[in-house]
Amino acid sequence: MPSSTPGFAMLDARAMVKRRLGLRLWLSGGWLVVLVVAATFAPWLAPHNPLEQDLFTSRLPPFWMAGAEPGYWLGTDSLGRDVLSRIMYGARIALVVALIAGTATALIGATLGLIAGYFRGWADLVISRLVDIWMAFPPVLFAILLIAVMGPGLVSVIVAIIVIDWTRFARVVRAEAMAQGAMDYVASAQVAGQKRLGTMLTEILPNVLPTIVVLLTLEMGIAVIVEAILSFVNLSISTDFPTWGGMIAEGRTSVHQAWWVLVFPLATLFLTVLSFSQLGEGLKDRFDPVLR
């Protein structure tokens, strides 16, 4: 047809544009992979039993310092327990909390936010009021109250994180869904005869997903911190199973004699939280078609 001739002259210039290298994604993803491997295979990889005390090897310095013992790479604490092994086992708790609490928070918050923002009306009224009331409680008090009621432990920590942080997802996702809902492609889906639930899942959700992913990885970082804080004040897992927060609390008391007991878990915690927050942005840069 005559009208179509100019179209075939159109260039496909996309192949000429190189995607930018996601250094951020590689660094943060790399650290988290190392951590996941270390945590998963800790029984085989850890050089020592993390609970084994040995007063003859107490406060050994890390491997490069004078007086270090071979096999105790990052030194030992005042009870002679291997710091590296304890960090690896501590990663198990940290990652389990990050994964479960982060995912559950995202699922609950994002679902409610999506429904409120897209369907509006009474659903929005109910959900938005709930969020407002929820956010009126001071979060730390809320968490401590909750753990006081449920008793300390891993489950309480996870529940506390979900209960406090779902509103963060709900608010952001609601605003985003609302903005997307006003776009013409949503009207276009209606013209095509798409059901509303279908439009929410196939048109709105893909556009809100990058935001959800960024929030989710941030939330995982937050979950790691919250778990560390709660185990620091002894409200998390109650046995003497190693946690990063617990190690930091113990290391603090002997920081002048054995700084490594404090510094290594602290650095691990810092790197992990940083990696989670960078991972989301990195994934977005790499996989969001709109930014490519």
Partner 1 sequence: MTDLYTVTDMHLSLADMVNKPLFGSAPRIDILHGLSFSIKRGEVLGIVGGSGSGKSTLGRVLVRLLEPSRGQVLFDGQDITHLNEDALRPLRRRFQMIFQDPMSSLNPRRTVGSIIAAPLKLHGFDRISVRVDQALDHVGLPRSFRTRYPHELSGGQRQRVGIARAIAMEPEFILADEIVSGLDVSSQAQVLKLLADLVADLGLTLAFISHDLSVIRRLCGTVMVLYQGRIVEHRASDALFAAPEAAYTRELLGAIPLPDPDQPWGAQAG
Least distance between partner 1 and beta carbon 103 (Å): 22
- Give the residue with the Cβ less far from partner 1, 55 or 290: 290
Residue with tokens 């994002």, as numbered in its chain: 110
Shortest spacing between CB 178 and partner 1, in angstroms: 14
Q: Min. distance of Cβ 183 from partner 1 in angstroms?
A: 5
CB within 8 Å of 249: residues ≥ 6 apart: 231, 232, 233, 234
Whichever of 69 and 288 has its CB closer to partner 1, that residue is: 288
List residues binding partner 1 (CB under 8 A).
1-8, 10, 12, 14, 183-185, 187-196, 202-203, 206-207, 209, 288-290, 292
Residue (154 or 189) nearer to partner 1, CB: 189
Whether the CB-CB separation of 32 and 276 falls below 8 Å is answered with yes
- How many CA atoms lie less than 13 Å away from 7 in the CB half-sphere? 4
Contact 285, 109 (CB under 8 A): no
CB of 291 to partner 1, least distance (A): 9
The answer to whether the beta carbons of residues 89 and 242 sit under 8 Å apart is: yes
- Which CB atom, from 129 or from 252, has the smaller least distance to partner 1? 129
Which is nearer to partner 1, 195 or 252 (by Cβ)?
195
Count the Cβ atoms, other than its own, within 10 Å of residue 26. 12
CB of 180 to partner 1, least distance (A): 9
Indicate the DSSP class of residue 71: T
Q: Burial letters for 89-99: b for 16+ Cβ neighbours within 10 Å, e otherwise?
A: bbbbbbbbbbe
